[in-house]
Structure 1
Amino acid sequence: MTSGTPGISGTVRWRDGAGTAGAAVTVTDLDGRQHGRTGTDPDGGYVVGLPTGGTYLVVVAVDGTPPQAALVGVSATPVRHDVTLAGGATLNGTLVDAAGRPVPRAALALIDPRGDVVATGGPDPQGRFRLVAPGAGPYTLTVTAPGHRPVARTVTPAPDGTPIGVTLPARSGLAGTARSADGTAVAGARITVADDAGHTVASTVSGPDGRYALDDLPDGEHALTAAGHPPVVSVVQVARGTTTPVEVRFPDPRGGVPARNGGPR
């Protein structure tokens, strides 16, 4: 659309002034015939070119809010029509790790009660984030970040934009080396962790150097089973927010002195 042709342009914003990305803008004539449809850009801007001047109905729709409709008179040149949505709220906050340090890399999502994702984003280098929601909430905020366990919590954006704090716990896990009775590294050993009911929580295979790692384990006491040589079973304690070192020692299949298993090394 150029300056000498008919059309409608403007910005769709939430009531707090934030631009509404992805809003559907539909333009029809008074007989209901559609003459244009577009989506707003990341800043909430839109442009719809029209064939002629006249009076048009502009409808703006965003999931989770009632649609907004208005009659707009268009001449031979473009006109501006800005829209402020009745709904909308901004969730501000900061992501930190268990030590209180900012988390600059993470994926955040807001999920409405129907299970639909209504907003996504990420933090800045200081761990601060800002998500614009289509309504007042409440929502489920989910956060995933490398090196941390995922977080899901219920949030309600504050009308005054008061920020919330989100702490990401470190991953809990086990890591170590599988070795034979004489200390030789054992490659390809199947390492399995089970809960009290005997259900498998996680499983992996030791690498060429015998090393293994299991991440994102629930805290507490678990049974560790190692198979590949004569199998061994031991009880291990997974500490919260840390990777607990556990060396696996397979017994000598010919018998002899039992090997130690399960203890931090």
Structure 2
Amino acid sequence: MCRWMAWLGQPVLMDELLFKTKHGIVAQSLHSDLGAEPTNGDGFGVGWYGTGSGPGLYRSVAPAWSDANLRDLAAHVESPLFLAHVRAAIGSPVQETNCHPFRHDGWLFVHNGFVAGFERLRRDLMLAVDPDLFPLVQGTTDTEVVLHLALTFGLREDPIGALERAVGTIEAVAARRGVPAPVQGTFGISDGTAVWAVRYASEGLPRTLFTSCDADAIRRLHPENPRLQRLGHDDRLVVSEPFSDLPGLWREVPPGTAVTVRHGDVLEERPFTPRERAVSVATGPIPDTARG
């Protein structure tokens, strides 16, 4: 599938986590231990928040390990919150508009997994997207459609709730089209102030997802490691698979769980419960007040 990571905490040069970590995201693009495919070389992307308005974005169809521009950019851009993604394409073309993260206004969105039978579901799902958002879908991936469904269903006000409604709508459409177990994977979302992450599968075990433990515990466990000693109170990582095998650094997110990470060492978990949102192909989502 793919691999992704999110960092929220003190400002760091991105290459500290992209290139200089032993089993960081670029190393995982060459060899993933826990992914469905060991190599993720069908493009990459990184989105970051800094001093400008909204997130910056750099995406390419080149493998992450061979892109000199990424290496140079990452060595000079410092950010307190960024998302990175390396892609293993399954069904959609290798093109820049299909590389993650996807950006809308101040939002970034990544996904590891798939929507099964997407070619059979795409038309119905696209017609459920708000008409004002419909022209903004530029690529051909299932992930970009999920993002625009979530935007349609209230991402700005309630990111996890909007994603629950998006996934629930996909499952309902799939049931009508005879597509079993349509949703698989993990999702990452940010607006520049927080990171929301979800681990979910309609059926079976979802793709892996981990969060770093709190910085105080990590520093106590590994006083010999200067890099870990620099961790601050707010610093958190959300990753598809751990960056190292040092004990006490990582906690696996349970299946069917949504995680919220905020500044102030806040990490909250709640069940992720998809639910269908009634839609009209002519007008988009039906307001809750209009439903019986």
TM range (shorter): under 0.3
Larger Rg: 1
TM-score by length of structure 2 reads 0.26
> Higher relative contact order at CA 8 Å, sep ≥6: structure 1 or structure 2?
2
